[in-house]
Amino acid sequence: MFATIVLVCIVLLFAYVYFLLRRSEHRVADSDYALDTFGTYKTGGRTEWRNEEYYRQALASIPHTDQLVAQLRSPLAAGIAQQWSIASSELPALPNYDHDDQVRAAMRCAQRLMRINRDCATLLSAEQGNPDARLAIVATLDRDLRFADTKCPTLTLEQLRIRDELRAIADRARALKGTVESPRFFDDYLSLVRDYAALVVRARPVCFKRMKADAPFEPPPIGSIFYVFGCTHGLVPWTTAYSLDKHRVTE
């Protein structure tokens, strides 16, 4: 009898540990991969806490972002004005505490507005020749390439070829960091982005096999946690593709 009780306790303990691990995994997936998929995937485990001060900061940042967007001139600014116009008009009022879904929606919009403000400030500074800002731009691409290198499957010859091409593009991105003061910086960066965009498209049927052929496969807008400078030129970052494939978004 005692042995049975001990066995049951052990089983329950393992079940509880497994539950905690799975919950942690879902939280990571929700926070890192599932916030921005054009409304096609809704997170189940992550809560954006009500933060009135942060919300007010996001609201107050709108006029400043308006000014930043109006000054952007580089090719990387293509499409940003239109996306900003939509994003700034979508910020809902922060509701009462008893409306959890509405609070999450408002806080997510506020987070996006703050990210857009940061990215536009970075881009404007890069256009003005600031090497640190240009390094920050390359860093968004480098971060996605590092993620791709760790997540690219290598079970088939085709997948290995994709992985090798990823590493070649990553080498070019690292080399670009040494030329941030070049007058051709934006042209060289966009050339790299276009090559990466084409590679991700080719990788879709090879590395993202759970995704249906008719699933949405579009670049994330500015302010997305997946955003890479150059997405407005057709780049679907690996993080976006991975999220869509991981959650099997089909509609």
Average pLDDT across each block of 10 residues of the chain; the chain has 251 residues. List them in order.
62 56 39 36 48 91 97 95 93 77 87 96 98 98 97 96 98 96 96 98 94 85 95 95 75 32
Residue 116 lies in a domain: yes
Phi/psi region, residue 54 (left: phi>0; alpha: psi -120 to 50; beta: rest), is alpha
**Residue 91 and residue 186 in one domain:** yes
**Residue 64 and residue 1 in one domain:** no
**Residue 28 and residue 110 in one domain:** no
Residue 251 lies in a domain: no
pLDDT reported for residue 96: 74
Please state the domain count of the chain: 2
| Listed residue (228, 222, 217, 230) closest to 191, CA to CA | 230
**Residue 103 and residue 212 in one domain:** yes
**Residue 21 and residue 144 in one domain:** no
pLDDT reported for residue 30: 34
pLDDT reported for residue 188: 97
pLDDT reported for residue 149: 96
pLDDT reported for residue 46: 47
**Residue 149 and residue 229 in one domain:** yes
**Residue 84 and residue 160 in one domain:** yes
Q: Say how far apart CA 182 and CA 129 lie, in whole Å.
A: 9
pLDDT reported for residue 24: 40
**Residue 41 and residue 147 in one domain:** yes
Residue 217 lies in a domain: yes
pLDDT reported for residue 251: 32
pLDDT reported for residue 10: 67
**Residue 130 and residue 230 in one domain:** yes
Q: Say how far apart CA 244 and CA 39 lie, in whole Å.
A: 12
Q: Say how far apart CA 19 and CA 134 lie, in whole Å.
A: 43
**Residue 241 and residue 193 in one domain:** yes
pLDDT reported for residue 79: 93
CA-to-CA dists, residue 247 to 3, 8, 221, angstroms: 42, 34, 19
Q: Which domain holds residue 102?
A: 34-246
pLDDT reported for residue 7: 61
pLDDT reported for residue 5: 65
**Residue 224 and residue 241 in one domain:** yes
CA-to-CA dists, residue 33 to 65, 71, 180, 242, 245, angstroms: 26, 31, 30, 8, 10
Residue 103 lies in a domain: yes
